[in-house]
Amino acid sequence: MINWETSFVSFSGRMYTPNDESFSSFCKAFNGNFKKRPACILFPKSENDVASVLLFAKNNNFKVSVHNGGHSTIASGLNNNHLVLNMRDMAGVSMSEDQNTIVVGAGALAHEIDDVTTKFGKAIPLGDCPVVGISGLTLGGGIGFLSRSVGLTCDYLIGAKVVTPTGEILTCNKNSNNELFTLLKGAGQGNFGVVTELTFTMVDIPTTVYGGNICWHLDDAKEILSNYDQLLKEAPNELNLYARVNEEMGPMVKVYGMYNGDPSIGKQYFDTIRSWGETIFDNAKEYSYQTIQKINETTIVDSPCFLWKNGLIDETLSSELIQTLLSAYSNRPTPYCRLNIDTIGGAVQKPKELSAFAHRNSTYVLSVMGVWFDVKDKNECIRWAKETMTEIEPYLNGKIYVNYADPECANNPEKYYGSTGKRVLEMKQQMDSKGILIGTLNPERSEFS
Protein backbone atom coordinates (compact mmCIF):
# COMPACT_ATOMS: atom_id res chain seq x y z
CA MET A 1 0.00 0.00 0.00
CA ILE A 2 1.52 3.30 -1.07
CA ASN A 3 1.68 6.22 1.34
CA TRP A 4 1.13 9.09 -1.07
CA GLU A 5 2.03 11.82 1.45
CA THR A 6 5.49 10.41 2.05
CA SER A 7 5.95 9.46 -1.63
CA PHE A 8 5.67 13.08 -2.71
CA VAL A 9 7.37 15.02 0.08
CA SER A 10 9.09 17.35 -2.40
CA PHE A 11 5.87 17.96 -4.40
CA SER A 12 4.67 21.50 -3.73
CA GLY A 13 1.19 21.34 -5.29
CA ARG A 14 -2.21 19.90 -4.33
CA MET A 15 -2.70 16.15 -4.23
CA TYR A 16 -5.89 14.07 -4.04
CA THR A 17 -6.48 10.36 -3.48
CA PRO A 18 -9.77 8.40 -3.55
CA ASN A 19 -10.14 9.04 0.22
CA ASP A 20 -10.56 12.78 -0.38
CA GLU A 21 -14.10 14.10 -0.65
CA SER A 22 -13.43 16.19 -3.77
CA PHE A 23 -11.54 13.38 -5.57
CA SER A 24 -14.46 12.37 -7.84
CA SER A 25 -14.91 15.93 -9.09
CA PHE A 26 -11.39 15.75 -10.60
CA CYS A 27 -12.10 12.38 -12.29
CA LYS A 28 -14.83 13.82 -14.49
CA ALA A 29 -14.31 13.46 -18.25
CA PHE A 30 -16.32 15.51 -20.75
CA ASN A 31 -17.31 12.22 -22.39
CA GLY A 32 -19.41 10.63 -19.62
CA ASN A 33 -19.01 7.19 -21.22
CA PHE A 34 -15.48 7.01 -19.82
CA LYS A 35 -15.58 6.55 -16.05
CA LYS A 36 -12.03 6.73 -14.75
CA ARG A 37 -10.63 6.29 -11.25
CA PRO A 38 -6.94 7.12 -10.96
CA ALA A 39 -4.86 6.17 -7.91
CA CYS A 40 -3.75 9.76 -7.27
CA ILE A 41 -4.35 13.15 -8.91
CA LEU A 42 -1.62 15.77 -8.57
CA PHE A 43 -1.80 19.48 -9.38
CA PRO A 44 1.81 20.59 -10.02
CA LYS A 45 2.93 24.18 -9.46
CA SER A 46 6.26 23.95 -11.26
CA GLU A 47 8.36 21.95 -13.73
CA ASN A 48 10.15 20.39 -10.76
CA ASP A 49 6.82 19.12 -9.41
CA VAL A 50 6.06 17.54 -12.81
CA ALA A 51 9.54 15.96 -12.96
CA SER A 52 9.18 14.50 -9.46
CA VAL A 53 5.89 12.80 -10.39
CA LEU A 54 7.31 11.37 -13.62
CA LEU A 55 10.37 10.02 -11.80
CA PHE A 56 8.19 8.49 -9.08
CA ALA A 57 6.08 6.84 -11.82
CA LYS A 58 9.19 5.47 -13.53
CA ASN A 59 10.61 4.02 -10.31
CA ASN A 60 7.32 2.55 -9.10
CA ASN A 61 5.78 1.19 -12.31
CA PHE A 62 3.03 3.74 -12.59
CA LYS A 63 1.77 5.37 -15.74
CA VAL A 64 0.88 9.06 -15.98
CA SER A 65 -1.92 10.91 -17.82
CA VAL A 66 -1.83 14.65 -18.34
CA HIS A 67 -5.06 16.59 -17.89
CA ASN A 68 -5.73 20.13 -19.08
CA GLY A 69 -9.36 21.01 -20.04
CA GLY A 70 -10.67 17.42 -19.85
CA HIS A 71 -12.34 17.59 -23.30
CA SER A 72 -10.59 14.58 -24.80
CA THR A 73 -13.23 12.57 -26.66
CA ILE A 74 -11.60 9.38 -25.30
CA ALA A 75 -10.72 10.76 -21.83
CA SER A 76 -7.02 10.21 -22.49
CA GLY A 77 -6.16 12.85 -19.87
CA LEU A 78 -7.37 10.45 -17.15
CA ASN A 79 -6.78 6.76 -16.35
CA ASN A 80 -7.59 3.91 -13.99
CA ASN A 81 -5.29 3.12 -11.06
CA HIS A 82 -2.39 5.29 -12.22
CA LEU A 83 -1.32 8.92 -11.72
CA VAL A 84 -2.83 12.05 -13.24
CA LEU A 85 -1.04 15.37 -13.59
CA ASN A 86 -3.80 17.98 -13.67
CA MET A 87 -2.19 21.16 -15.02
CA ARG A 88 -4.90 23.61 -13.88
CA ASP A 89 -2.68 25.26 -11.23
CA MET A 90 -0.15 26.21 -13.92
CA ALA A 91 -2.49 28.39 -15.97
CA GLY A 92 -1.04 31.91 -16.05
CA VAL A 93 -1.37 33.95 -19.25
CA SER A 94 1.09 36.81 -19.72
CA MET A 95 1.53 39.21 -22.60
CA SER A 96 5.07 40.21 -23.62
CA GLU A 97 6.07 43.86 -23.22
CA ASP A 98 6.06 44.42 -26.99
CA GLN A 99 2.60 42.77 -27.13
CA ASN A 100 3.69 40.39 -29.89
CA THR A 101 3.78 37.12 -27.95
CA ILE A 102 2.02 35.49 -25.02
CA VAL A 103 3.27 32.88 -22.60
CA VAL A 104 0.54 30.51 -21.44
CA GLY A 105 0.64 27.98 -18.61
CA ALA A 106 -0.31 24.50 -19.84
CA GLY A 107 -3.40 24.41 -17.62
CA ALA A 108 -5.16 27.43 -19.17
CA LEU A 109 -8.52 27.13 -20.91
CA ALA A 110 -9.17 28.75 -24.31
CA HIS A 111 -11.32 31.63 -23.02
CA GLU A 112 -8.72 32.55 -20.38
CA ILE A 113 -6.37 33.41 -23.24
CA ASP A 114 -8.95 35.50 -25.11
CA ASP A 115 -9.68 37.30 -21.82
CA VAL A 116 -6.09 38.64 -21.89
CA THR A 117 -5.27 39.02 -25.59
CA THR A 118 -8.47 40.68 -26.81
CA LYS A 119 -7.81 43.64 -24.49
CA PHE A 120 -4.85 44.35 -26.80
CA GLY A 121 -6.80 43.72 -30.03
CA LYS A 122 -4.98 40.41 -30.50
CA ALA A 123 -5.81 36.72 -30.52
CA ILE A 124 -4.45 33.30 -31.23
CA PRO A 125 -6.74 31.07 -33.32
CA LEU A 126 -8.75 28.92 -30.87
CA GLY A 127 -11.56 26.36 -31.25
CA ASP A 128 -15.29 27.03 -31.01
CA CYS A 129 -15.53 25.79 -27.41
CA PRO A 130 -14.29 28.31 -24.83
CA VAL A 131 -13.64 25.75 -22.09
CA VAL A 132 -11.40 23.40 -24.10
CA GLY A 133 -7.86 23.29 -22.68
CA ILE A 134 -5.13 25.13 -24.59
CA SER A 135 -2.66 22.23 -24.32
CA GLY A 136 -4.96 19.55 -25.70
CA LEU A 137 -6.20 21.90 -28.42
CA THR A 138 -2.74 23.05 -29.59
CA LEU A 139 -1.02 19.67 -29.31
CA GLY A 140 -3.67 18.16 -31.61
CA GLY A 141 -3.84 21.04 -34.14
CA GLY A 142 -6.70 23.41 -33.27
CA ILE A 143 -9.46 24.27 -35.75
CA GLY A 144 -11.75 27.27 -35.15
CA PHE A 145 -13.36 30.49 -36.35
CA LEU A 146 -9.98 31.94 -37.47
CA SER A 147 -8.59 28.82 -39.19
CA ARG A 148 -9.46 29.66 -42.78
CA SER A 149 -8.20 33.22 -42.47
CA VAL A 150 -5.03 32.76 -40.41
CA GLY A 151 -4.39 29.05 -39.66
CA LEU A 152 -4.51 26.57 -36.79
CA THR A 153 -3.77 27.09 -33.10
CA CYS A 154 -0.58 25.03 -33.45
CA ASP A 155 0.60 27.25 -36.34
CA TYR A 156 0.99 30.09 -33.81
CA LEU A 157 3.01 28.07 -31.29
CA ILE A 158 6.60 29.36 -31.27
CA GLY A 159 7.93 27.66 -28.17
CA ALA A 160 7.12 25.10 -25.47
CA LYS A 161 8.64 23.88 -22.21
CA VAL A 162 8.49 20.11 -21.89
CA VAL A 163 9.31 17.82 -18.97
CA THR A 164 10.46 14.48 -20.38
CA PRO A 165 9.49 11.11 -18.86
CA THR A 166 13.05 10.94 -17.46
CA GLY A 167 12.57 14.23 -15.62
CA GLU A 168 14.59 16.49 -17.92
CA ILE A 169 13.25 20.00 -18.56
CA LEU A 170 13.54 20.94 -22.26
CA THR A 171 13.02 24.20 -24.09
CA CYS A 172 11.58 23.48 -27.54
CA ASN A 173 11.44 25.96 -30.38
CA LYS A 174 12.80 26.53 -33.88
CA ASN A 175 16.39 26.60 -32.60
CA SER A 176 16.29 24.12 -29.78
CA ASN A 177 14.94 20.53 -29.94
CA ASN A 178 13.41 21.51 -33.25
CA GLU A 179 12.15 18.10 -34.36
CA LEU A 180 10.40 17.49 -31.05
CA PHE A 181 8.91 20.99 -31.32
CA THR A 182 7.62 20.21 -34.84
CA LEU A 183 6.01 16.96 -33.71
CA LEU A 184 4.44 18.55 -30.64
CA LYS A 185 2.35 20.63 -33.06
CA GLY A 186 -0.37 18.13 -33.91
CA ALA A 187 1.03 14.96 -32.32
CA GLY A 188 1.98 16.10 -28.83
CA GLN A 189 -0.98 15.00 -26.70
CA GLY A 190 0.57 13.06 -23.82
CA ASN A 191 2.99 11.34 -26.17
CA PHE A 192 6.54 12.63 -25.71
CA GLY A 193 6.51 14.62 -22.48
CA VAL A 194 4.46 16.93 -20.29
CA VAL A 195 4.14 20.42 -21.73
CA THR A 196 4.19 22.98 -18.94
CA GLU A 197 4.28 26.23 -20.88
CA LEU A 198 3.39 27.37 -24.41
CA THR A 199 4.50 30.55 -26.19
CA PHE A 200 2.41 31.90 -29.06
CA THR A 201 2.54 34.69 -31.59
CA MET A 202 -0.75 36.41 -32.22
CA VAL A 203 -2.78 38.06 -34.97
CA ASP A 204 -4.61 41.39 -34.89
CA ILE A 205 -8.37 41.00 -34.68
CA PRO A 206 -11.10 43.53 -35.45
CA THR A 207 -12.81 45.10 -32.41
CA THR A 208 -16.13 43.78 -33.69
CA VAL A 209 -16.95 41.04 -36.17
CA TYR A 210 -20.13 39.89 -37.88
CA GLY A 211 -21.23 36.35 -37.09
CA GLY A 212 -23.51 34.05 -35.13
CA ASN A 213 -25.88 31.12 -35.62
CA ILE A 214 -28.52 30.73 -38.32
CA CYS A 215 -30.85 27.69 -38.12
CA TRP A 216 -33.48 26.09 -40.34
CA HIS A 217 -35.82 23.14 -39.99
CA LEU A 218 -34.29 19.76 -40.83
CA ASP A 219 -36.51 19.53 -43.94
CA ASP A 220 -34.29 22.21 -45.52
CA ALA A 221 -31.00 20.51 -44.63
CA LYS A 222 -30.21 19.15 -48.10
CA GLU A 223 -30.38 22.56 -49.71
CA ILE A 224 -28.67 24.37 -46.84
CA LEU A 225 -25.69 22.00 -46.79
CA SER A 226 -25.32 22.25 -50.54
CA ASN A 227 -25.40 26.08 -50.34
CA TYR A 228 -22.93 25.95 -47.44
CA ASP A 229 -20.48 23.99 -49.58
CA GLN A 230 -20.94 26.28 -52.58
CA LEU A 231 -20.49 29.46 -50.51
CA LEU A 232 -17.28 28.19 -48.93
CA LYS A 233 -15.86 27.41 -52.36
CA GLU A 234 -16.41 30.99 -53.51
CA ALA A 235 -16.11 33.13 -50.37
CA PRO A 236 -12.82 34.63 -49.17
CA ASN A 237 -10.95 32.88 -46.38
CA GLU A 238 -12.09 35.55 -43.92
CA LEU A 239 -15.44 33.74 -43.81
CA ASN A 240 -15.22 30.73 -41.50
CA LEU A 241 -18.29 28.57 -41.00
CA TYR A 242 -19.27 25.33 -39.27
CA ALA A 243 -22.44 23.33 -40.03
CA ARG A 244 -24.39 21.14 -37.62
CA VAL A 245 -27.34 18.79 -38.04
CA ASN A 246 -28.80 18.25 -34.59
CA GLU A 247 -31.79 18.79 -32.30
CA GLU A 248 -31.12 22.01 -30.41
CA MET A 249 -34.57 23.42 -31.27
CA GLY A 250 -36.20 20.35 -32.70
CA PRO A 251 -34.54 18.62 -35.65
CA MET A 252 -32.62 21.31 -37.50
CA VAL A 253 -29.60 22.33 -39.53
CA LYS A 254 -27.38 25.15 -38.31
CA VAL A 255 -24.66 27.21 -40.00
CA TYR A 256 -22.54 29.36 -37.71
CA GLY A 257 -19.24 31.17 -37.56
CA MET A 258 -17.86 34.61 -38.27
CA TYR A 259 -16.27 36.88 -40.85
CA ASN A 260 -12.77 37.99 -39.77
CA GLY A 261 -12.80 41.48 -41.26
CA ASP A 262 -15.01 44.51 -41.85
CA PRO A 263 -18.38 43.67 -40.18
CA SER A 264 -20.32 45.36 -42.99
CA ILE A 265 -18.79 42.90 -45.51
CA GLY A 266 -19.45 40.07 -43.04
CA LYS A 267 -23.10 41.09 -42.89
CA GLN A 268 -23.41 40.68 -46.65
CA TYR A 269 -22.26 37.04 -46.40
CA PHE A 270 -24.60 36.31 -43.49
CA ASP A 271 -27.47 37.99 -45.41
CA THR A 272 -26.77 35.54 -48.24
CA ILE A 273 -26.85 32.68 -45.72
CA ARG A 274 -30.14 33.82 -44.17
CA SER A 275 -31.69 34.01 -47.66
CA TRP A 276 -31.26 30.24 -48.10
CA GLY A 277 -34.62 29.43 -46.51
CA GLU A 278 -37.09 30.22 -43.76
CA THR A 279 -34.97 30.46 -40.63
CA ILE A 280 -36.15 29.16 -37.24
CA PHE A 281 -33.42 30.98 -35.30
CA ASP A 282 -30.99 33.73 -36.21
CA ASN A 283 -28.70 35.58 -33.82
CA ALA A 284 -26.12 36.64 -36.43
CA LYS A 285 -25.12 40.28 -35.93
CA GLU A 286 -22.12 42.41 -35.01
CA TYR A 287 -20.42 41.16 -31.82
CA SER A 288 -17.17 41.78 -30.06
CA TYR A 289 -14.66 39.12 -31.11
CA GLN A 290 -14.58 37.79 -27.54
CA THR A 291 -18.37 37.35 -27.46
CA ILE A 292 -18.49 35.44 -30.73
CA GLN A 293 -15.86 33.04 -29.41
CA LYS A 294 -18.31 32.12 -26.63
CA ILE A 295 -21.45 32.20 -28.75
CA ASN A 296 -22.29 28.53 -28.32
CA GLU A 297 -21.20 28.15 -24.72
CA THR A 298 -24.75 27.56 -23.49
CA THR A 299 -25.42 24.69 -25.89
CA ILE A 300 -22.81 22.46 -24.26
CA VAL A 301 -24.63 19.91 -22.11
CA ASP A 302 -22.97 18.42 -19.08
CA SER A 303 -21.26 15.07 -19.52
CA PRO A 304 -23.11 13.46 -22.40
CA CYS A 305 -21.93 9.94 -23.26
CA PHE A 306 -20.80 9.56 -26.83
CA LEU A 307 -18.90 7.73 -29.50
CA TRP A 308 -17.35 10.48 -31.64
CA LYS A 309 -16.22 9.25 -35.07
CA ASN A 310 -14.67 11.55 -37.65
CA GLY A 311 -13.19 11.57 -41.12
CA LEU A 312 -11.64 14.08 -43.51
CA ILE A 313 -13.04 15.20 -46.85
CA ASP A 314 -10.66 16.53 -49.51
CA GLU A 315 -13.35 17.53 -51.99
CA THR A 316 -16.72 19.21 -51.94
CA LEU A 317 -19.79 17.97 -50.07
CA SER A 318 -21.37 16.07 -52.96
CA SER A 319 -25.15 15.75 -53.12
CA GLU A 320 -24.78 11.95 -52.71
CA LEU A 321 -22.77 12.44 -49.51
CA ILE A 322 -25.29 14.95 -48.15
CA GLN A 323 -28.13 12.53 -48.98
CA THR A 324 -26.34 9.61 -47.30
CA LEU A 325 -25.69 11.69 -44.16
CA LEU A 326 -29.27 12.93 -43.93
CA SER A 327 -30.77 9.46 -44.45
CA ALA A 328 -28.55 8.15 -41.66
CA TYR A 329 -29.53 11.09 -39.46
CA SER A 330 -33.23 10.32 -39.99
CA ASN A 331 -32.56 6.92 -38.34
CA ARG A 332 -30.71 8.33 -35.31
CA PRO A 333 -31.46 6.29 -32.19
CA THR A 334 -31.58 9.29 -29.80
CA PRO A 335 -32.40 12.97 -30.35
CA TYR A 336 -28.87 13.85 -29.16
CA CYS A 337 -27.03 12.10 -32.03
CA ARG A 338 -25.55 14.66 -34.37
CA LEU A 339 -23.50 15.46 -37.46
CA ASN A 340 -20.79 18.15 -37.44
CA ILE A 341 -19.18 19.54 -40.58
CA ASP A 342 -16.21 21.77 -39.66
CA THR A 343 -14.50 23.77 -42.37
CA ILE A 344 -10.75 23.81 -42.83
CA GLY A 345 -8.74 24.83 -45.91
CA GLY A 346 -7.70 28.42 -46.62
CA ALA A 347 -4.70 29.49 -44.52
CA VAL A 348 -4.51 25.99 -43.00
CA GLN A 349 -3.08 24.88 -46.36
CA LYS A 350 -0.19 27.33 -46.15
CA PRO A 351 1.56 27.01 -42.78
CA LYS A 352 4.76 29.00 -42.29
CA GLU A 353 6.44 26.16 -40.39
CA LEU A 354 6.31 22.35 -40.43
CA SER A 355 4.06 20.45 -38.01
CA ALA A 356 2.56 16.97 -37.54
CA PHE A 357 -0.94 18.15 -38.51
CA ALA A 358 -1.80 15.87 -41.44
CA HIS A 359 -4.92 17.45 -42.92
CA ARG A 360 -3.57 20.51 -44.72
CA ASN A 361 -5.26 19.60 -48.02
CA SER A 362 -8.66 18.72 -46.61
CA THR A 363 -11.75 20.87 -46.89
CA TYR A 364 -13.90 19.51 -44.05
CA VAL A 365 -13.71 17.45 -40.86
CA LEU A 366 -16.92 15.44 -40.75
CA SER A 367 -18.00 14.10 -37.35
CA VAL A 368 -20.69 11.53 -36.65
CA MET A 369 -21.58 11.49 -32.97
CA GLY A 370 -23.68 8.76 -31.38
CA VAL A 371 -24.82 10.49 -28.16
CA TRP A 372 -26.79 9.09 -25.22
CA PHE A 373 -27.63 9.96 -21.62
CA ASP A 374 -29.43 6.72 -20.73
CA VAL A 375 -27.31 3.58 -20.80
CA LYS A 376 -30.16 1.67 -22.46
CA ASP A 377 -29.45 3.70 -25.64
CA LYS A 378 -25.71 3.05 -25.61
CA ASN A 379 -25.47 0.05 -27.95
CA GLU A 380 -27.80 1.56 -30.53
CA CYS A 381 -25.86 4.85 -30.56
CA ILE A 382 -22.57 3.01 -31.02
CA ARG A 383 -24.07 0.91 -33.82
CA TRP A 384 -25.53 4.01 -35.50
CA ALA A 385 -22.26 5.96 -35.41
CA LYS A 386 -20.24 3.03 -36.75
CA GLU A 387 -22.70 2.15 -39.51
CA THR A 388 -23.00 5.77 -40.61
CA MET A 389 -19.22 6.01 -40.86
CA THR A 390 -19.13 2.85 -42.98
CA GLU A 391 -21.75 4.31 -45.31
CA ILE A 392 -19.82 7.55 -45.85
CA GLU A 393 -16.38 5.91 -46.02
CA PRO A 394 -16.17 6.20 -49.85
CA TYR A 395 -16.27 10.00 -49.50
CA LEU A 396 -13.49 10.22 -46.86
CA ASN A 397 -9.72 10.23 -47.29
CA GLY A 398 -9.06 7.57 -44.62
CA LYS A 399 -7.43 9.90 -42.07
CA ILE A 400 -8.76 10.97 -38.67
CA TYR A 401 -8.40 14.31 -36.83
CA VAL A 402 -6.72 13.50 -33.52
CA ASN A 403 -8.47 16.30 -31.61
CA TYR A 404 -11.68 14.32 -32.10
CA ALA A 405 -9.78 11.18 -31.09
CA ASP A 406 -11.42 7.92 -32.06
CA PRO A 407 -11.41 5.17 -29.41
CA GLU A 408 -11.12 2.57 -32.19
CA CYS A 409 -7.97 4.20 -33.54
CA ALA A 410 -5.56 3.29 -30.72
CA ASN A 411 -2.01 2.52 -31.88
CA ASN A 412 -2.69 3.60 -35.45
CA PRO A 413 -0.52 6.70 -35.94
CA GLU A 414 -0.83 6.74 -39.76
CA LYS A 415 -4.57 7.44 -39.44
CA TYR A 416 -3.90 10.48 -37.25
CA TYR A 417 -0.62 11.74 -38.67
CA GLY A 418 -0.38 10.36 -42.22
CA SER A 419 3.19 9.85 -43.45
CA THR A 420 4.56 11.57 -40.30
CA GLY A 421 3.06 8.74 -38.21
CA LYS A 422 6.22 6.61 -38.44
CA ARG A 423 8.37 9.47 -37.14
CA VAL A 424 5.85 10.18 -34.36
CA LEU A 425 6.16 6.57 -33.19
CA GLU A 426 9.98 6.73 -33.31
CA MET A 427 9.97 9.94 -31.25
CA LYS A 428 7.62 8.31 -28.73
CA GLN A 429 10.06 5.42 -28.42
CA GLN A 430 13.03 7.79 -28.09
CA MET A 431 11.41 10.02 -25.47
CA ASP A 432 9.30 7.50 -23.53
CA SER A 433 10.78 4.04 -24.12
CA LYS A 434 9.11 2.72 -20.95
CA GLY A 435 5.67 3.98 -22.04
CA ILE A 436 5.12 5.97 -18.84
CA LEU A 437 2.88 8.55 -20.47
CA ILE A 438 -0.64 7.70 -21.57
CA GLY A 439 -1.55 9.80 -24.61
CA THR A 440 -3.52 9.68 -27.83
CA LEU A 441 -0.91 7.30 -29.34
CA ASN A 442 -1.34 4.73 -26.56
CA PRO A 443 -4.62 5.38 -24.72
CA GLU A 444 -5.80 2.94 -22.05
CA ARG A 445 -7.68 -0.03 -23.48
CA SER A 446 -11.40 0.57 -23.58
CA GLU A 447 -14.44 -1.39 -24.70
CA PHE A 448 -13.77 0.03 -28.19
CA SER A 449 -10.09 -0.84 -28.63
Ligand X SMILES: Cc1cc2nc3c(=O)[nH]c(=O)nc-3n(C[C@H](O)[C@H](O)[C@H](O)COP(=O)(O)OP(=O)(O)OC[C@H]3O[C@@H](n4cnc5c(N)ncnc54)[C@H](O)[C@@H]3O)c2cc1C
Q: Where along the sequence are the contacts to ligand X (CB under 6 A)?
A: 30, 65-73, 76-77, 87, 106, 127-129, 132-133, 135-137, 139-144, 188-190, 194-195, 300, 403-404, 439-440
Least separation in angstroms between CB 97 and ligand X: 26
Of all helices (H) and strands (E), which one includes residue 94?
A: strand 93-95
Q: For residues 45 and 219, which CB has a smaller minimum distance to ligand X in the complex?
A: 45
Is-contact 113 142, C-beta < 8 A?
no
How far is residue 447's CA from residue 197's CA, in Å, rounded to a whole number?
Answer: 34
Least separation in angstroms between CB 304 and ligand X: 9
Least separation in angstroms between CB 184 and ligand X: 8
Q: Which of 134, 96, 144 is nearest to 113 (CA)?
A: 134
Is-contact 274 234, C-beta < 8 A?
no
Q: For residues 279 and 347, which CB has a smaller minimum distance to ligand X in the complex?
A: 347
How far is residue 336's CA from residue 302's CA, in Å, rounded to a whole number?
Answer: 13
CA distances from 169 to 91, 119, 165 (A): 18, 32, 10
Q: For residues 155 and 220, which CB has a smaller minimum distance to ligand X in the complex?
A: 155
Q: For residues 139 and 220, which CB has a smaller minimum distance to ligand X in the complex?
A: 139
The residue of the chain with the least Cβ separation from ligand X equals 136
Q: For residues 2 and 300, which CB has a smaller minimum distance to ligand X in the complex?
A: 300
Least separation in angstroms between CB 204 and ligand X: 21
Q: For residues 128 and 220, which CB has a smaller minimum distance to ligand X in the complex?
A: 128
Least separation in angstroms between CB 137 and ligand X: 4
Half-sphere exposure of 423 (CA within 13 A, CB side): 17
In the chain, the largest separation of any two C-alpha atoms, in whole Å, equals: 67
Q: DSSP labels for 278-289?
A: -EEEE--EEEEH
Least separation in angstroms between CB 412 and ligand X: 15
Output the CA angle 280-265-213, nearest 5 degrees.
Answer: 25
Least separation in angstroms between CB 401 and ligand X: 7
Q: For residues 3 and 298, which CB has a smaller minimum distance to ligand X in the complex?
A: 298
Is-contact 186 402, C-beta < 8 A?
yes
Q: For residues 139 and 252, which CB has a smaller minimum distance to ligand X in the complex?
A: 139
Q: How far apart are the first and last CA of the chain?
A: 30
Is-contact 86 65, C-beta < 8 A?
no
Least separation in angstroms between CB 354 and ligand X: 19
CA distances from 4 to 19, 46, 77 (A): 11, 19, 21
